Amino acid sequence: MGYQPGFEPKLFYHQINLEQRVPKDHLLRKIQEKIDFDFIYAEVRDTYGDNGNVSIPPPVILKMILLLILYNVRSERELMETIPMRLDWLWFLGYDLDSEVADHSVLSKARARWGVEAFRNFFERIVWQCVEAGLVDGSKIFMDSSLVDADASNHSVIDTQSLRIHLRDNYKKLEARLEEVRESTDSSSRRDVKKNSRYMSTTDPDAAIVNRGKPKLSYQVHRAVDAGSEIITATETTAGDVNEAHLVVPLLERHHSNTGISADTAVADSKYGTIDNFLACYDLGVQAHMPDLRESSVKRTEKLKIFSEERFEYDLESDTYRCPAGQLLKPRSLHTNRQSRDYAASRKVCATCHLREQCTKNKSGRTIKRHLRQEHLDKMREASRLAKAKRDIKTRQHLMERSFARGTRYGYDQARWRGLWRVQIQEYLISAIQNIQVLLKYGHKPKKSLSVVVNQAKGTLPRVIRSVSDRMKGLLINEINRIMPAGLIRIEYVQS
């Protein structure tokens, strides 16, 4: 049995090589080999001057921020304190044992100097690498959103229309500070930021109060995930009270811009099944596999035990509806904002109708609303009820839950910083890291698909296929290829 002597640190350590201390299969080594960080030089060149102290190299700063998210370190101060103790982090940053680590304020200053665009470009470069590696099919994308808790307390919320806050001595200082925040934030990014401007957090003015069980100050991340290898191809961050249905077209456009592929199918849940989204997808030539929000109004009519709109027959030539009683409903009022027209019969006809109790509870009579592009809308709604659309909607639930669940290990559901643009940076980094994980795992595969040649002579053909005829073998293998994840594997049958 050996006994450990008292610890006496050495003054000098010879023949210590960090390259040898980092295992060959270490995650950071794989990232270093696969990801190019030097692109950031050109991205942020305009944010540095010609005079003054020499800054830390931008790739090192980007790697530090990546380590902060990748290992979910609680704060930048803790990150800087931990770097000297982690040999793998030192190697990843290009440091040595005696290298001086910068102050934690360097990271916050760099984020403010670089802005959101640098981190968006980093995310988009990772997406493009996944495209080149054959991990993105691009034809079908799944959409969903999730709330992110803001780094602010509910006690910081004030009513801006209340006279009570104007009586406080420090209100003018607070108001001036909030105005500075508004001016410093990019106006384009605040286009759809907040719906409710009455209640505002003095700590984080960009966050919004969302009441889902318990009121919270929140942001909202919106993602588009490819069906092939579940790569996040597009992401947007807004205030928590922004309607996620408004982000369908921006996500489709971002997906096309980042991948170079136009999606032909968009899959989302019932919150996205609005008239505007159906028509927008029709104009873009995209199939909208989304549950129709109109079904909720149909259920309301069923509860009222009155005729549904399907019982009213529309005649295109005369532009009229015929009700179950045989009366004509003619065009009445036009609503330009909603792009719809009301159809109704005269009050006298409705008042004396023997089916009135089964038709309407309204004293003025029954009114049918028809969209000006009803033919296009009906076509998209009919396609959303097909069996393949229902399969995609069911798949979306598990796929999007996986995407957000994988992000929890990197702290996506809790804002690290305050302000919309900072939360946008956080989401771009988390999405980039999730894509990097997929890229490292499957990126060695060919760009198009992995062709598996099944040879009957070598006995590699599955037994269930070997026992049938050659024609049936081909049919079975075609069916297997159809249900396989797109872009990952393809089976061929070679008869020797």
Q: What would the DSSP string read from start to end of 420-457?
A: HHHHHHHHHHHHHHHHHHHHHHHTTS-SS-EEEEEETT
Q: 141, 233 in Cβ contact below 8 A? A: yes
Q: 68, 79 in Cβ contact below 8 A? A: yes
SS (HEC) of 88-129? HHHHHHCCCCCCCCCCCHHHHHHHHHHCHHHHHHHHHHHHHH
- CATH classification of 134-288+394-435 is 3.30.420, yes or no? yes
Residue boundaries of the structural domains of the chain: 18-114, 134-288+394-435, 294-383, 450-494
The pLDDT score that the predictor gives to residue 323 is: 92
Q: Fill in the amino acid letter for 481.
A: N
What is the distance between the alpha carbons of residues 382 and 390, in angstroms, rounded to a whole number? Answer: 12
* 205 secondary structure, DSSP code: T
The pLDDT score that the predictor gives to residue 455 is: 39
Task: Find all residues with CB under 8 Å of 409, minimum gap 6, and list them.
Answer: 72
Q: What would the DSSP string read from start to end of 213-266?
A: SEEEEEEEEEEEEETTT--EEEEEEEETTS-GGGGHHHHHHHHHHHHS---SEE
The pLDDT score that the predictor gives to residue 401 is: 93
Q: 396, 144 in Cβ contact below 8 A? A: yes
The pLDDT score that the predictor gives to residue 486 is: 45
What is the distance between the alpha carbons of residues 462 and 251, in angstroms, rounded to a whole number? Answer: 42
**CA distances for 269 relative to 229, 244, 336, angstroms:** 20, 11, 28
The pLDDT score that the predictor gives to residue 50 is: 86
The pLDDT score that the predictor gives to residue 192 is: 47
**What token pair was written down for 404?**
């957000």
**What token pair was written down for 410?**
């990197």
Q: 397, 144 in Cβ contact below 8 A? A: no
What is the distance between the alpha carbons of residues 426 and 404, in angstroms, rounded to a whole number? Answer: 14
Task: Find all residues with CB under 8 Å of 133, minimum gap 6, and list them.
Answer: 439, 442, 443, 445, 447
If phi over 0 gives left and psi between -120 and 50 gives alpha, with beta otherwise, what is residue 206?
Answer: alpha
The pLDDT score that the predictor gives to residue 189 is: 41
**CA distances for 260 relative to 34, 87, 96, 252, 333, angstroms:** 21, 39, 41, 11, 44
Q: 354, 371 in Cβ contact below 8 A? A: no
Separate counts of helices (H) and strands (E) for the chain: 19, 15
Q: Is 136 helix (H, G, I), strand (E, B) or coil?
A: coil
396: enclosing H helix or E strand: helix 387-408
Cα angle 437, 412, 146; round to 5? 110
pTM value is 0.80
Task: Find all residues with CB under 8 Å of 379, minimum gap 6, and list them.
Answer: 282
What is the distance between the alpha carbons of residues 440 and 30, in angstroms, rounded to a whole number? Answer: 7
- The mean pLDDT values, 10 residues at a time, for the chain of 496 residues are 75 74 92 94 92 91 97 96 95 91 94 96 96 93 95 84 58 58 45 60 89 87 94 96 93 95 94 92 94 74 79 90 91 88 89 87 86 92 92 93 95 94 97 96 56 39 45 57 49 48
CA 70 to mean position of chain CA atoms: 19
**What token pair was written down for 108?**
């916050």
